[in-house]
Structure 1
Amino acid sequence: MSLPIISSVGFCTYTSEGGDFSTLEGSIRTIADLGATAAELSLYGEEIIAGGRIIPSRAERLVQITKQFDLHYSVHGQIVSNFMDREHLAEQKAVVRAMLELCNRIEAGVLVQHSGQAKMQAATRNRALDAIERDALAEMAEVAGHYGVRIALENIFALSDNEYRQTPSQVGETVRSVDSPHVCALIDFSHAYIECTRLDLDWRAEIKAMAPVTGHLHVHDSFGRPYTMTKFYHPAEATALGIGDLHLPVGWGDIPWEEIFAELTFLPDTMLILEITEDRFKAEQAESLALANKLAALVNDRRLAA
């Protein structure tokens, strides 16, 4: 029997400073208790890798924690992971190798990798950065294949015209050019909305171009407004103004979720992760999960009816 398109739905874990894993374990337990089927582990904040090497005792403790729960796991790599970072490319790849090994140890099927970022340059130099990222992804895809993991390349937004980021459709083209079963695209719908507003692009067309090579989804709401101001004294102030990458519960922003999921389809065995954490929106997580399961059904039921 073939795999469903969206095979599991869940949340990312909440990470706090301290690195004793108690917050991580509690966050996974909350996700399981909500009835989710997946958890994305925010391992970038857990002090498991030092200088590109895994700390054995901490990795062992991570395995002990994850084995307690009947969940499908993905891992969110470093927020600063960047395959356009020429100066630190060797260090960047070393950490990704370590993250892929951690995925193998905890049986996580996906490693989230942010798409590249650099200072805006002439078009020819930006294309050279694209090539560096593609080469690094192709190299890491071989490692991922050894572990049976997919690297999911996530679309991000730029903060200003001085920053180079690929558009969502260009992220999809990067994945196509690598042409590996161990590299897929990750659509972050809110990121796409923000970036396309900034660049005056049709964001629905941009994510539609990504969808055929997409194997992982990040769902959280916003109003698609770029960072025209960046100083807020509390996250609730940004929410009130509707500015930026808000990570709101489904339905709090103005993204037309049902329209999108009624028209798009993705690669088989795609995981849908709600990036809505209990530190801010614990009371809204159950409702968001119910809505996300309905969105997954829009995709899966359409495939069954075809």
Structure 2
Amino acid sequence: MSSEFPIYLPLRPAALPLAQRLAAWIELAGRPVALQLCATLPLTKTSAGVALGDFDNIDAWRQAGGVRLDPLDWPAMAAYLRQHWPLSTPPRTRFGVTPATAPLPGEIWSDGEGLALELAPPEWALLQRAQPLGWQLATAESCTAGGIAARIAALPGSSALLRQGYVVYSNAAKEEMLGVQGATLARHGAVSEAVVEEMLEAALGQAELAVAVSGIAGPGGAVAGKPVGTVCLGWATREQQRICTLHFAGDRWAVQYAAGSVVLGGLLTLLAEKAGV
């Protein structure tokens, strides 16, 4: 069996999804991968592996022959992978995995259906598609608590896409900030497609694109018929709307990240359909 190819990432949670994308590609090419968190890179006469981002000894790492990739430069990362880890068919990304068994929560890579995003996360691809249209996004988040808006705000140029976000964790906030009807909450519960539909409609009143999320990220909070990992999601343009309920596996972070990937990927799919891609 081939030895594991190391990918080194800094001690920052934001680096993990990028490292997972890199690892998924290399594993599709047939080499097992080991993700390693570190502040200082291990140096040998011929350093092996990839450093994703900056480290205390990055200059010495490069001098020893190690590869450093910029975690915000997805085209360059894809170019590196195509050169060193070629695939007969570039991977395509689909969203909405139930349960989440994909290399990245909420996404699955395949050689068939889906969008040709390569390494780009959905928020970056959405920014590229929405910017020429002049369209902006409003988010209405419960269980993700602003995480979707934060993923967009982490991108350079994000102000072209992100207009505003609502964090409506409590039922009272859903009613006060978004106008969700108390009767809807009482009849269906906060984790329901009916509530998400009202959240989505309110957000869509502020921008051309909108997403809404309400779910049970865990580890507690399950109720009859709604286990941990149950998330109701919605995404919409002024012309189209999608609402669904998915069940994600994994810990709290995985459920929250999966929800964000699915709604952003859903919007991206709508814009790709609009463009005829």
Same fold (TM over 0.5): no
TM (norm. structure 1) is 0.29
Greater per-residue helix proportion: 1
Comparing both chains, which one has the higher relative contact order based on Cα–Cα distances under 8 Å and sequence gaps of 6 or more?
1
The structure with the largest alpha-carbon Rg is: 2
